[in-house]
Amino acid sequence: MTRVVISGASGFLGSHLARRLAAAGYDVVALVRANSNLRRLADLTGRIHIACLDQETLNGLLRKLTPIAAVIHAAVNYGRADTKLSELVETNVLFGLRLAEAAQSVGATCFINVGSALPPKVSPYALSKHQLSAWLQRLDQAVGMRIADVALENMYGEDENENQFVPRVILACLRNVERLPLTAGDQQRDFIYIEDVVEAFALLLRYCLQAEARMNGYARYPLGSGNAVRIRDVASMIQQITGASTQLDFGAVPYRPHEAMFSQADLSAWKRLGWLPRHTLESGLRRAVAWWQNHLQETKRCAG
């Protein structure tokens, strides 16, 4: 079996990737911390391997896991609340670079990085993701490891972190709260449903593992739906799908400094691979709303 190591496998994207690749027959190894919440991986017990990063050095751990065909780096620190800048750099830059070097040292064929499409000036998080991308471009390619850097737009879907924009609006509407303070919502962003994201990664993985003559070194892949939509239109669509009477209070929250007002993925590289997203914004949001609705009902039943 082809072994694929996924960092951040307990997170939103990482868990979806682990599930998709395990179903495709890959030998999936989830890199996690000792304090990681493995709830999202509970249904994969017996189908994937769990490797704890806190028990030994990164190089030593990867050597024990050889042969490794590919490493997908999905671990991330979004830098919220009181996160120190040094902690952000440690996770988003240094750990990613160390992981790429370790993957290279054990002979992995490819390293796939989950980057960000946000401009670096938007936030310390975005800056750190661009810094890792810059270092990955400088990583010595003498041994021929392929590096695919995926500049990810706004993904959303089932079991996303509740403080992200889409689930925050969905939950407010499902709970029919009286008022939801939002920015003016004129930012145009590219939203992509999680199922389309993991399908794109699965295709990219196959390509990186098989395309001996066509891909060498570093390549960047902007990933989104290819369509930019106003934030306020996304919120209004969620309100319509849920039938909520919640007041979407656009303009109650100021834009953050250096707010990105337009972002849209150029899908040219994906089209050459034969991939395009299958879900429209509405179909993806309907699926996400249905999941969160079931989740709230389950939570209520457990609490009762």
> Packing angle between helix 96-105 and helix 58-65, nearest 10 degrees?
40
Cβ–Cβ < 8 Å for 126, 163: no
Q: What is the pLDDT of residue 142?
A: 55
CA 10, CA 17: separation in Å to the nearest integer? Answer: 10
Domain ranges (residues) in the chain? 1-152
Q: How confident is the model at residue 284 (pLDDT cuts 50, 70, 90)?
A: very high
Secondary structure in 3-state letters for the chain: CCEEEEECCCCHHHHHHHHHHHHCCCEEEEEECCCCCCHHHHHHECCEEEEEHHHCCHHHHHHHHCCCCEEEECCCCCCCCCCCHHHHHHHHHHHHHHHHHHHHHCCCCEEEEEEECCCCCCCHHHHHHHHHHHHHHHCCCCCCCEEEEEEECEEECCCCCCCCHHHHHHHHHHCCCCEEEECCCCCEEEEEEHHHHHHHHHHHHHHHHHCCCCCCCEEEEEECCCCEEEHHHHHHHHHHHHCCCCEEEECCCCCCCCCCCECCCCCHHHHHHCCCCCCCHHHHHHHHHHHHHHHHHHHHHHHC
End-to-end CA distance of the chain: 45
Q: What is the pLDDT of residue 141?
A: 60
Mean pLDDT of all residues in 27-55: 93
Q: What is the pLDDT of residue 224?
A: 98
CA 290 to chain centre: 21
Q: How confident is the model at residue 214 (pLDDT cuts 50, 70, 90)?
A: low
Token duo for residue 131: 């810094």
Q: How confident is the model at residue 213 (pLDDT cuts 50, 70, 90)?
A: very low
Q: Dihedral sign, CA of 291, 292, 293, 297?
A: positive
pLDDT 10s digits, 49-88: 999 988 788 999 999 999 999 999 999 999 877 889 999 9
- Cα-based distances in Å from 108 to 3, 69, 89, 147, 215: 10, 5, 25, 10, 14
pLDDT 10s digits, 217-240: 899 999 999 999 999 999 999 999
CATH 3.40.50.720 describes domain 1-152: yes
Mean pLDDT of all residues in 133-158: 88
Token duo for residue 232: 């306020």
What pTM was computed for the model? 0.95
CA 259, CA 244: separation in Å to the nearest integer? Answer: 28
Cβ–Cβ < 8 Å for 152, 118: no
Give residues with Cβ within 8 angstroms of 280, minimum separation 6. none
CA 15 to chain centre: 10
- Please choose, from the candidates 163, 84, 76, 168, the residue with its C-alpha nearest in 3D space to the C-alpha of residue 126: 76
CA 46, CA 253: separation in Å to the nearest integer? Answer: 46
